[in-house]
Amino acid sequence: MKYFAGFLLLLIGCGAANAARSLSDSEMLGQKMILDFRYFCADNTPAATCRQPVTELTPALADILTSGAIGGVILFSENIRSVAQVVKFNYQLQKLMHDNNLPPLFIAIDQEGGRVARIPDAMATRYVGNMAIGASYAAYDTEFATQVANGLANSLRLLGFNVNFAPSIDVNSNPHNPVINVRSYGESPTLVAELGIATIAALQKQQIVSAVKHFPGHGDTSVDSHTGLPKVEHSLAHIKRADLLPFVRAIKSATPPQMIMSAHIQYPALDDTKVTSRTGEEIALPATLSKKILTGLLRNQLGYTGLIVTDALDMAGIAQYFTPSQALVQTFSAGADIALMPFSIRNPDDIHRFNQIRQHVLGALASGALSHTEFTASAARILALKEGHAAGQFLQQSLLVRQARATAALPSAAQQATELALAQAALTQLFNTKVLPLDISQRIAAIMPDTARCHAFTAALTGISPAIKVQCYTSLLASDMRQTAGWQSADIVVLADITPVHSVAETGGLDNPATLAGRISANARQQWQYALLKQAKTAGKKTVFVSMRAPYQIRHYEAVSDAALATFGYNVQTLPHKDAQRTTARGAVFEALAQGLYGKIPLTGRSPVTIPLRQH
């Protein structure tokens, strides 16, 4: 393969279009892909069982990137161990491309904040999440959207990232949405647009490319596109006034997003073209593969001139129905500039298969199945953004300087203070029948989703007053607590719920794996929690229900709760205890919750989604 020596000189002197025309077809294809290297097993361990994290530049990784002139990489939590390590890794990646006269990489990450954050809490503040920002809007307008995005961008820039797949500007109009819910700012398209635009502007002001998602909208689905292929049956009129509105306004704003991510979702009102999948099933083209949606709607009708990037192509919404080769050819034909995670490379055999996939796409380009003119124009857009956004600027200082600066700045006390301020501003009281604020003399029985959150809540109550008496239990196994001493003597029962249920990885690591494996179903947990609160009221205790994720669940507990609060987030960080043999936990959400329960802060939050209550 020929390398394009003097690439940067050509780009600066002749412009992105001429630079793109100087690339070979193979090099243009490489620029149009962002790969993940979450795991790699040099001993050819099968991909399904390979769990060796990639945390530094290896010869195999270097060869893939340089031989394929790959345009970008995406890192996950498995790739990140410490500040110094990830700075070195990202520096190595950019230096590799520079030393081989290749364009700088897009180094991307999903750091939305809230439940989608790849960087460990001990390294960078994750904040509470978008729906919490939505809840703060009534009192604080776009203040927290800007502050959070500033914090995220600062951390990412220090660590060597230049693309953030954020924010989600999906309008969460479906209470049963399993994947977006609190990742959305709310149900109002205008609210989502305003907060999204503020976030985009703050990210891009600090030279972090904002890739908004998931076009044309993932807010009204009951299927997760990671595990299936959703379909949105909205009318065209509804799509325009709801799903599309945040994207339209962002594109027309003073700081349009430099990337827009497509959704693996069928939108028959936008494109009802039927195709036969690899399983023989006839389906409507998902947006990611639809020329009517990506080119006809996004490019031509909405006038978007930035980069279109797909959601991960290895997700079931695409991979279950199309081969990697089919998906790549179809999405490039549809108008995507960048294919994200088109194939998972986990061992040397996968490298061979990846090269076969590349040859298939190059064959489609040579045969005219893919337009060479469109391919070149796409490559030019990519190169122009890299140059205009100074994607390779991380090399302008030495590795040691980069490591020292990041280590000194992270984690940031100022960012942690903003996280707590947002948690306080978002805390929303849905109803209160003269139960709140609590009195320090009242004894508390708390039911939390797991042990880490028990520790975080207990520590937060101690921060209010060491005199508060609290016994904390978990709802993992739904055991009968009625005979326990703490339960019998309690005056107040505080029950916190995470619905949809959080993943095992989110539990904090303080529970026995066997206990986590035996977690009861969502329906069984809801029935148990309802019965528990009903029993508490029958026994003369006061009850407080706390929704920590999507707040729609509150309506199921209204009849057995004396008060209800919503936090819109449930982040927790496990920490070493002063006793070296123990581990504890903390979380801004729990500190704000404790302060709210005892009247230490005003409850200014307003739910950005509708909760149909019957009695309040």
390: nearest Cα among 206, 572, 213, 261: 206
Token pair recorded at residue 82 = 């410490």
Compute and round to an integer the Cα radius of gyration of the chain.
Answer: 25
What is the average per-residue pLDDT within 426-432?
98
At residue 9, does pLDDT exceed 50?
A: no
Ranges in the chain annotated CATH 3.20.20.300: 7-409
pLDDT given for residue 522 in this prediction = 87
The pLDDT tens digits for 259-315 are 999 999 999 999 999 999 998 989 999 999 999 999 999 999 999 999 999 999 999
pLDDT given for residue 579 in this prediction = 60
Four-point Cα dihedral 422, 426, 427, 433, nearest 10? 150
Cα distances (Å, whole numbers) of residue 615 to 250, 431, 432, 560, 612: 39, 9, 11, 11, 10
Q: Is 463 helix (H, G, I), strand (E, B) or coil?
A: helix
At residue 518, does pLDDT exceed 90?
A: no
C-alpha to C-alpha distance for 18 and 2, rounded to whole angstroms = 17
pLDDT given for residue 389 in this prediction = 81
Q: How confident is the model at residue 3 (pLDDT cuts 50, 70, 90)?
A: very low
Is 7-409 assigned to CATH 3.30.1450.10?
no
At residue 483, does pLDDT exceed 90?
A: no
Residue keyed to tokens 């009968």: 480
The pLDDT tens digits for 56-95 are 999 999 999 999 999 999 999 999 999 999 999 999 999 9
Q: How confident is the model at residue 212 (pLDDT cuts 50, 70, 90)?
A: very high
Q: How confident is the model at residue 582 (pLDDT cuts 50, 70, 90)?
A: low
pLDDT given for residue 344 in this prediction = 95
Q: How confident is the model at residue 514 (pLDDT cuts 50, 70, 90)?
A: confident
How high does pLDDT run on average in the chain?
Answer: 93
What is the average per-residue pLDDT within 231-257?
96
C-alpha to C-alpha distance for 216 and 246, rounded to whole angstroms = 10
Share of the chain above pLDDT 70, in %: 96
Q: Got the DSSP string for 39-76?
A: B--TT---TTT---B--S--HHHHHHHHHTT--EEE--
Residue 287 DSSP class = G
C-alpha to C-alpha distance for 544 and 427, rounded to whole angstroms = 14
CATH code of domain 427-597: 3.40.50.1700
Q: Got the DSSP string for 158-189?
A: HHT--EE---B------TT-SSSGGGSS-S-H
Instruction: Please indicate whether residue 311 is annotated as part of the active site.
Output: yes
Active-site residue, selected from the candidate residues 311, 350, 497, 562: 311
Ranges in the chain annotated CATH 3.40.50.1700: 427-597
Mention every residue, 6+ apart, whose C-beta is less than 8 A from residue 295: 334, 335
